[in-house]
Structure 1
Amino acid sequence: MQASENVEQNVAAESGPVKLGSHDAGRIARAAFVGTALEWYDYFLFGTAAAIVFNRLFFTTLDPGAATLAAFATFGVGFAARPIGAVLFGYIGDRMGRRPALLITIVMIGVATGLIGLLPDFGSIGLAAPIALAVLRLVQGLAVGGEWGGAMTIAIEHAPIEQRGRYAALVQIGSPVGTLMSSGAFALVLLLPPSDFDAWGWRIPFLAAFPLLLVALYIRLKVEESPIFQDLVKLENKAKIPALDIFRHAWGRLLVAVAAALLGVGGFYIMTTFVVSYGANTLGLDRGLMVNSTLVASVVQIPVTILAGRLAERVGPGRMVFWGALATAAGAFPLFWLIDSKNPAAVVLAVTLGIALVTLAYAVTGALLTELFPPNLRYSGVALGYNIAGAITGFLPLIAIALLATSGGASWTAATLLIVISLITAVGGFFGERLRVKDKELVS
């Protein structure tokens, strides 16, 4: 790792100083946030639908347990595609610019999500239905593989260095807003009679992706290219094959990035996708209650994200990741004890607290990852680190559900899983704080 660190510091130094101003930083970060919120809205819809729709309508020839496993396997396919998207869009972002990569990703995921709303179910076209569902999920995964890393990179590279924590957190708010939108959409259509919900109601949240795409695309078109990337162009300091350079020379930093991002992705899906399925299918709780608990958690997540971003500017993003991960590990068993009580208020409290704890690390993941890689490898490094973590943890809901069978439906297996990924992320935060590479800056 030491050799990797020296190489990266040398590359960072070659890029020279860039001129950054604070007057446009907020506008760029808000534009990145809007696009990211749509991306996560589209992506999270699939997670909720996997728990309460796809298992019944697209895998109907299987018994209920196997159908749920199949639905979550399809959900995980999107995560497996994300590292491929990170390599592809990382190349575009580091070679051709952050802006064009972000425009392509938002169109891809918006169209794929809308098309899911038009898919016939298994009863209409048979095996072609789950196959088409998996293909569209792959397209989503490829797009998200480039979206988050690009949005975070362009927001950070427009921000003054001493204020990167708050602007990184602003982009991260796209996650709870996306969850709020997707959970809210499903909460509304769940008010329909079950027959109407199954026939057409579940499709409405997916079809809404089409008009939302037009809004987000309009906003993204107004975003200027990163000044740091423009500086790289002038200095002719762009990497030829960024992903290859990372694996050759910055593999140590990549491992740290993956570890640091693990909890923000995996912990979130344990506390939302898995918990919704666990509550509804194992504990027999009302589906509306489980979805509404994620709504409440998303509202609370927004101020927690802002607070964590500000704290990161004081103590460092790596330290925030470290302490947030340890806090999540400490709370894992108590959270699931509350859920197992089947008390509606306790369930909502558990999901809300769980998401809040995970957010302490997740809110500042972007600030940490962008400072692990120099500008000419940044888009690729950030995207790869985050999305390899996503590929690893995307199957956690599936694994957690499979482990339920071995424990007779007891939640201790899921709590243990949450503790393990929390401790790995704590290690990532600890080393990440010590490996940060800062850009040189001239503040206007």
Structure 2
Amino acid sequence: MSADPQADRAPAAPPQGKPRKAAFAAWIGSALEYYDFFIYGSAAALVFPKVFFDPDDPATATLISLATFGVAYAARPVGALVLGHVGDRLGRRTIMVWTLVLMGLSTFLIGCLPTYAQAGTLAPALLVLMRILQGLSAAGEQASANAMTLEHAPEHRRGYYTSFTLNGTQAGQILATLVFIPIAALPDEQLYTWGWRIPFLLSVVVAVVGYVIRRTLEETPVFQQATAERAVARMPLAELFKNHWADVLRVVAAALIATVSTIFSVWALAYATSDAVGLDKTGMLWVNGCANAVALLAIPLWARLSDRVGRRPVFLIGALGSGVMVFVYLWAISTGSYPLVFATGLLFFGVVYSAANGIWPSFYGEMFPARVRLSGMAVGTQIGFAVAGFAVTFAAKIAGPDGDDWTGVAVFTAVFCVICAIAVATGRETHRVPTADLGLPARPEPAPTPARESAAL
């Protein structure tokens, strides 16, 4: 029992929410927000080494450029602490609106930055600052959208509705890839002077559209009820770390599955288009885009399955399957066979990884009560995601000076998948737990009365 009686008491069942509207708002907002976030990954692998860093040392420039991709992930735990607290105190919708504004502004400013040739070392310094702002925004985006959809969803379909947040994330990656495909096809002179700026400048449109949509969304019935009953946590983070630290650690370990995404989307792209393999930039962007298109279909199907059989078995399929498929995919890239890369990429990222990627929004959110749900998801996921973000930098070092040791990178990624699987396997199953009881101690069965014992006989 905690010192705060509200922390362990199950609230009354909240009024019925609006799951479809919440799911749409989460989907469109995440798609627009992560369009901004993912165009940076493509640019870091294909453009920024020649735009923002010393062109006389291309190997070091590529390594540092990939490191700036990870900087946003380092900022995300800090953002999670702040935005998680605010979201559990002031509501989910507040965070969903302001994270989108911050992401759109910082991404637009990247498109306005001077290059290394124009400003020297000031250029990469400003780039890192903008990437930090992107990371702070992303820290609250998914957790707030997940909490919003979970708390609006019917109890027997929480997995399905909550998966729309990640479905939107995949749509954002598709949008980012489709925008970057014609940009990458430009002649080098145009690409490295003005062409690369276009996807970043378009983010101002993204921010305006997302802001209008999310401003019309109602707060969740769960949070409205907590506010009416004065049951909102006064210090969500203190309560989280006092009563739910074990689940925070479990989410941190499980969130390492995001390593698969960063390796697939960034390191594998850089490896495939390097001199060691020599695949075409545009072709590899199509692999990424089509794999994400398959994921759009796979994620809700896996999520619906988890509503029937449970979160853990579906998540484990995705985690352990990804640990195997990373070897297959990187081997395919090493052969230089584009059809083989295309087929294995779709199976790996589009189907297998989606089993874990589509389940974690509901699985993580169901570990925590409403009082600390946004904080628990934000802090746990963002620490794990921070490690995943820098996995690209570690992979570049593991691959060696020539960048062609794909087996070492595959082993490195598979280890994270195993750690994730262990964390998930040791967690409790939550898909049948009533929404009001999520994250609370299990209620003891009532002791049998003499009348019941007689009836049983």
Instruction: Choose from 339, 344, 352 the match for 2:338.
Output: 344
Contact kept, 8 Å, 1:37 with 1:178, in 2: the verdict is yes
Instruction: Choose from 357, 373, 378 the match for 2:352.
Output: 357
Residue 267, structure 1, aligned to residue 260, structure 2: yes
Question: TM-score normalized by structure 2?
Answer: 0.91
Residue 378, structure 1, aligned to residue 378, structure 2: no
What SS does the aligned partner of 1:394 have?
helix
RMSD: 1.9
Residue 326, structure 1, aligned to residue 320, structure 2: yes
State the shift of 1:9 in Å.
Answer: 12
Residue 156, structure 1, aligned to residue 156, structure 2: no
Which letter maps to 1:334? V
What SS does the aligned partner of 1:180 have?
helix
In 1, distance between residues paired with 2:323 and 2:373? 30
Contact kept, 8 Å, 1:82 with 1:391, in 2: the verdict is yes
In 2, distance between residues paired with 1:193 and 1:316? 50
Instruction: Choose from 418, 421, 433 the match for 2:428.
Output: 433
In 2, distance between residues paired with 1:352 and 1:301? 8
Contact kept, 8 Å, 2:49 with 2:55, in 1: the verdict is no
Instruction: Choose from 240, 245, 260 the match for 1:246.
Output: 240
Contact kept, 8 Å, 1:260 with 1:425, in 2: the verdict is yes
Instruction: Choose from 412, 415, 432 the match for 2:407.
Output: 412
Bigger radius of gyration, 1 or 2?
Answer: 2
* Structure 2 counterparts to residues 39-58 of structure 1, below 5 A: 39-58=33-52
Q: Which residue of 1 aligns with 2:452?
A: none
What SS does the aligned partner of 1:104 have?
helix
Contact kept, 8 Å, 2:318 with 2:354, in 1: the verdict is yes
Contact kept, 8 Å, 1:371 with 1:438, in 2: the verdict is no
Contact kept, 8 Å, 2:247 with 2:367, in 1: the verdict is yes
1:252-303 CA distance string (max 9 Å, x none): 101111122221x211111111110011123221111111110111111111
* Structure 2 counterparts to residues 77-226 of structure 1, below 5 A: 77-226=71-220
Which letter maps to 1:399? F
1:21-80 CA distance string (max 9 Å, x none): 36x211111111111111111111111100011111101255111101110111111000
Q: Which residue of 2 aligns with 1:76?
A: 70
State the shift of 1:320 in Å.
Answer: 1.4
Residue 421, structure 1, aligned to residue 427, structure 2: no
In 2, distance between residues paired with 1:103 and 1:251? 28
State the shift of 1:247 in Å.
Answer: 2.1
Q: Which moved more, 1:411-420 or 1:232-241?
A: 232-241
Contact kept, 8 Å, 2:50 with 2:192, in 1: the verdict is no
In 2, distance between residues paired with 1:9 and 1:313? 32
Which letter maps to 1:347? V
Which letter maps to 1:273? V
In 2, distance between residues paired with 1:19 and 1:36? 26
Q: How many pairs are equivalent?
A: 434
In 1, distance between residues paired with 2:87 and 2:265? 31
In 1, distance between residues paired with 2:191 and 2:290? 23
State the shift of 1:10 in Å.
Answer: 7.6
Contact kept, 8 Å, 2:311 with 2:430, in 1: the verdict is no
What SS does the aligned partner of 2:43 have?
helix
Q: Which residue of 2 aligns with 1:3?
A: none
Q: Which moved more, 1:237-246 or 1:41-50?
A: 237-246
Instruction: Choose from 48, 53, 64 the match for 1:59.
Output: 53
In 2, distance between residues paired with 1:11 and 1:221? 30
State the shift of 1:358 in Å.
Answer: 1.4
Q: Which residue of 2 aligns with 1:276?
A: 269
State the shift of 1:12 in Å.
Answer: 5.9
In 2, distance between residues paired with 1:155 and 1:148? 11
State the shift of 1:223 in Å.
Answer: 0.5
Q: What runs of 5+ residues in structure 1 fail to find an aligned partner?
A: 1-5
What SS does the aligned partner of 2:11 have?
coil
Instruction: Choose from 371, 384, 392 the match for 1:389.
Output: 384
Contact kept, 8 Å, 1:20 with 1:158, in 2: the verdict is no
